[in-house]
Amino acid sequence: MIETIAIARGPYRAELITLGAALRVLQVPDRNGARANVVLGFANLEDYRGTPRFYGAVTGRYANRIGGALFTLDGVEHRIAANDGANSLHSGPMGLDQQHWDVVALTEDAVTFRHVSPAGHNGFPGSLTVEARYKLEDDGLAILLTATTDAPTVVNLTNHAYFNLGGEASGTTILDHVLRISSSRTTPVGPGLIPTGAFADVSGTPFDFRVPRRVGERIDADDAQLRLGHGYDHNFVIDGAPRCVATLFDPGSGRVLDLHSGEPGLQFYSGNHLAGGPPGTSGRVYAARDGLCLEPQKFPDSPNRPGFPSARLDPGQVYRHDIAFRFRTAAGLEEAFPG
């Protein structure tokens, strides 16, 4: 049975479920103090089973794609489960998003989930113990993802929340949201959205979000990468040290999201394939681009790309990924994007 856990602090309220340790509801005030849920999810908890949307879930063991559904570690080839054509997406069917997680700690404003993924699950080596801690703070939600293993393996964990800062029930798309990403390069993809191994400068392309731009401004541009993704579904190489990697602003509500992470990449997905499916938490069926994902993580296909940051985890090491969704409000662009 899927259980629901609610936590609250100040103006913020979150609802999470034990399937996938998923964030189902996150209520955030607008510039007038009115609260609304800003993440997408299903109205019926049972719809979280088997529907490949990953709403708010912890994805892994390896978030994003691994080309050919295989990788080699210490000279041993590991064939993992394919679920995206010939490739593995978020570690194949029955990944962490489809697993039951135990609640191991709970307070008014925080909850910690734990799951043990057995050795060989979906083809991955090593038994992996994963914890996900969600804590509401004075300015939003902090997520701590940790993992340990008993054998060398690869790990890449993130949270797969779909945001609409206008509100999940608003009926608006995210095309008028304004986005800034601290990235001067992407990892371009080929067929199946698998990275080619190259790096591409964003200058002069629809992928340049170093200055704030409307998400919809160039989403339908005549660009080979956008055609492959049917919009944005690409990894951005984050510039600099642990920091605010992206800022998202909804001019209508005044809500601003500052995303913090220390990971080297950020997958920006513009919700291109959201149309249809079971009703969302407000009871309406979502349309394409009703939400977007900003997923900090290792690069896609890193286990097969020596030139990418390593995703290896060995016994005795602790994988740690700190994510913070920090919220504020702004009257306009200058206030939303100071400096």
pLDDT at 339 over 90: no
What's the rounded mean pLDDT across residues 119-141? 98
The Cα–Cα gap between 272 and 274 comes to 6
pLDDT at 99 over 90: yes
> Which option is the CATH number for 4-336: 2.30.180.10, 2.60.40.10, 2.70.98.10, 1.10.150.120?
2.70.98.10
In this structure, the number of other CB atoms found within 10 A of the CB of residue 335 comes to 14
Per-residue confidence (pLDDT) for residue 242, from 0 to 100:
62
Reported as a single tens digit per residue, the pLDDT across 152-164 is 999 999 999 999 9
Phi, psi of 68 (to 5 degrees): 70, 5
Per-residue confidence (pLDDT) for residue 52, from 0 to 100:
83
pLDDT at 321 over 80: yes
What's the rounded mean pLDDT across residues 31-52? 95
Reported as a single tens digit per residue, the pLDDT across 42-73 is 999 999 998 789 999 999 999 999 999 999 99
pLDDT at 180 over 80: yes
The encoded tokens of residue 89 equal 């997406």
pLDDT at 83 over 80: yes
Tell me which residue of 214, 229, 205 sits closest to 288, measured CA to CA. Answer: 229
What's the rounded mean pLDDT across residues 138-161? 98
pLDDT at 151 over 70: yes
Tell me the catalytic residues. 160, 295
Per-residue confidence (pLDDT) for residue 240, from 0 to 100:
83
Q: What is the mean pLDDT of the chain?
A: 97
Tell me which residue of 233, 238, 221 sits closest to 193, measured CA to CA. Answer: 233
- For the chain, report the end-to-end CA distance as a whole number of angstroms: 48
Positive or negative: CA dihedral 199, 203, 204, 210? positive
Per-residue confidence (pLDDT) for residue 300, from 0 to 100:
98
Q: Where are the domains of the chain?
A: 4-336
CB 313 within 8 A of CB 135: no
pLDDT at 241 over 80: no
CA distances from 11 to 14, 248, 253, 302, 327 (A): 10, 19, 15, 39, 11
The Cα–Cα gap between 105 and 97 comes to 20
pLDDT at 186 over 80: yes
